[in-house]
Amino acid sequence: MISASVDNDPPRHPLGARPVPTPNSTPRPAGSAGWWRDAVIYQVYVRSFLDSTGDGIGDLAGVGAGLPYLKRLGVDGIWLTPFYPSPQHDHGYDVADYHDVDPVYGDLDAFDRLVRDAHRLGLKCLVDIVPNHCSSRYPLFLQALTEGPGGPTRAMFHFASGRGDDGALPPNNWHAMFGGPAWTRVTEPDGTPGEWYLHMFTPEQPDWNWREPTVRGNFEQTLRFWLDRGVDGFRIDVAAGLFKHPDLPDSPDPEADERTRDSVNPLAWNQPEIHEVWRDWRAICEEYTAGDGNDRLLVGEVSVPTAADQARYVRPDELHQAFFFHLLNAPWDAAAFQNVITDALRDIAATGSTITWVLNNHDQVRAVTRYAAPTPSQDADLPDPGGARARAAALLMLALPGAAYVYQGEELGLPEVIDLPDEALTDPIFRRTGSRLRVRDGCRVPLPWSGQASPFGFTAGDAPGRPWLPQPEWFANHTTERAIADTDSFWHLYHEALHLRRNLPQLGEGPLRWLDSPPDVLAFVRGDGLVCAVNFGDRQAPAPVTGTPLLTSRPCPPGILPGNTAAWWICEHCTA
């Protein structure tokens, strides 16, 4: 049973931390300036959250209906994945109109209602903006195709002549992130094979040419369009992309670029010019903040090799936050976790910004499944090591200084659905890698809300349509209804941790100090006296402090931190 009481035992701990005053547990003020610095934002994958129309696809009204659930969970706001008009080749990350809502998700009135309702509940609302590429159905791209070579609109994309006889080979050797070459050849208006255009993802997602001033101006208008509708900020897709090397030269190591989906082609990502754009966008946000005192937030999907690379994106006049994917990518191993946390504290926190922790998102295998696989547990009494580890990782993440993002279903302990039939898969990566990589559908299966059978309350109506991805029978064990009724559930762990995080000043911004601990155990103290310890091993270890923990990810016998478990304590004599 998880306990949530403050330690009244006499102060005594084996780690030699110096005595400090009793922690002050006055709740932190929920001010508007800087609200994002330690906020916890819930990622809503709109398509899979809640379907209000009965067509089997989630929508904005469904998100609105779920807001009280999110408020109760205790998050500070939501990030909505793209809901714009789109042919859905990459589920909305192929945008055909940046200023509207796809009818499948609702309309602008539904959007406005959602923002109003979120604000009424005190929840912030972020939208996703996709500036690296648009849809091949975007009107300007269609116009560029019609114009033919040399047309002014072609300059807004990357059109180039091919190489080899008759230009039949792509202009360079770059690979697309989702498989295959990064170039597609077009048929010109006169019917002849013509130029090629660049797409770092699918051919249905042509990359914008950010060296063209109109592109920059158009996106600034898009920011203002949504800020004027009341959004609190933007999650920026592919935020290390946008600019390509001006000469589009061959990559010296194209195989390396292709090796993993997240590998970085240094000629296509992370170009120095990108920082000017983030400075402009930050200035626009500041303009709105100056109007009403509410900070607007820019959080970037910045996939770059090191924490030091990432730090350059969150300098004081650039992005407020950048997802720190190194934590998500770390294997279940104490040293690996400690290294990525140490790097982030050294490099990112040093910018004066905040570290933005994340364990799950809509592009990654869910943590419960990820942590089960690489190091099977030797502990026969632990039937679900992935679940136990994901619970422990959640307590670790929520005790770290900075902000955190929780992906829908993470609070239910949803495992990945690994056995979706091939014909159900919709992720373009599957199709474009010759059915080799089944990566992203399994974490996008519509959420289970209630009941014993699909659609598990996901879809409304008397004759509900089938959810767009099939839900397995075992989702019955993970419905929100069941999770809320079971005080030992993942949901209650997140709920309790979020509640404590909001009320304990130690868990806000501020220092972290590592405590000495046995191998396999990480222990640190936050502020004046909040200790978090995680045992990554299978064997139990002595608890790093005495007394009853405030919160544990699994039951802890007195003085013991079992394997694959995390706990928080108040320790009056510990300080960071």
The residues binding ligand GLC (CB under 6 A) are: 90, 93, 130, 201, 237-238, 301, 362-363
Contacts of 92 (CB under 8 A, 6+ apart): 46, 47, 81, 82, 83, 84, 86, 102, 128
Cβ at position 93, least distance to ligand GLC in Å: 3
Q: Which of 195, 232, 237, 258 is catalytic?
A: 237
CB nearer ligand GLC, residue 341 or residue 358: 358
CB nearer ligand GLC, residue 102 or residue 301: 301
Q: How far apart are CA 58 and CA 225, in angstroms?
A: 24
Cβ at position 202, least distance to ligand GLC in Å: 8
CB nearer ligand GLC, residue 362 or residue 366: 362
Q: Is 7 a catalytic residue?
A: no
Q: Which letter does DSSP use for residue 136 in this model? A: T
Residues in the chain: 576
Amino acid letter, 564: N
Cβ at position 428, least distance to ligand GLC in Å: 8
Cβ at position 465, least distance to ligand GLC in Å: 24
Cβ at position 200, least distance to ligand GLC in Å: 8
How do beta strands 530-535 and 565-570 pair?
antiparallel
Q: Is 411 a catalytic residue?
A: no
Q: Contact, 405 vs 358, CB < 8 A?
A: yes
CB nearer ligand GLC, residue 199 or residue 573: 199
Tokens of 133: 């590429």
Q: How far apart are CA 106 and CA 87, in angstroms?
A: 15
CB nearer ligand GLC, residue 91 or residue 282: 91
Tokens of 114: 């959602």
Crossing angle of helices 490-503 and 385-399, rounded to 10°: 10
Q: Which letter does DSSP use for residue 207 in this model? A: B
CB nearer ligand GLC, residue 238 or residue 403: 238
Q: Contact, 204 vs 87, CB < 8 A?
A: yes
- The residue number whose beta carbon is nearest to ligand GLC equals 93
CB atoms within 10 A of CB 162: 17
Cβ at position 69, least distance to ligand GLC in Å: 24
DSSP string, 98-135: TTS--TTT--HHHHHHHHHHHHHTT-EEEEEE--SB--
Q: Which of 286, 287, 317, 481 is catalytic?
A: 287
Give me the active site residues, please: 237, 287
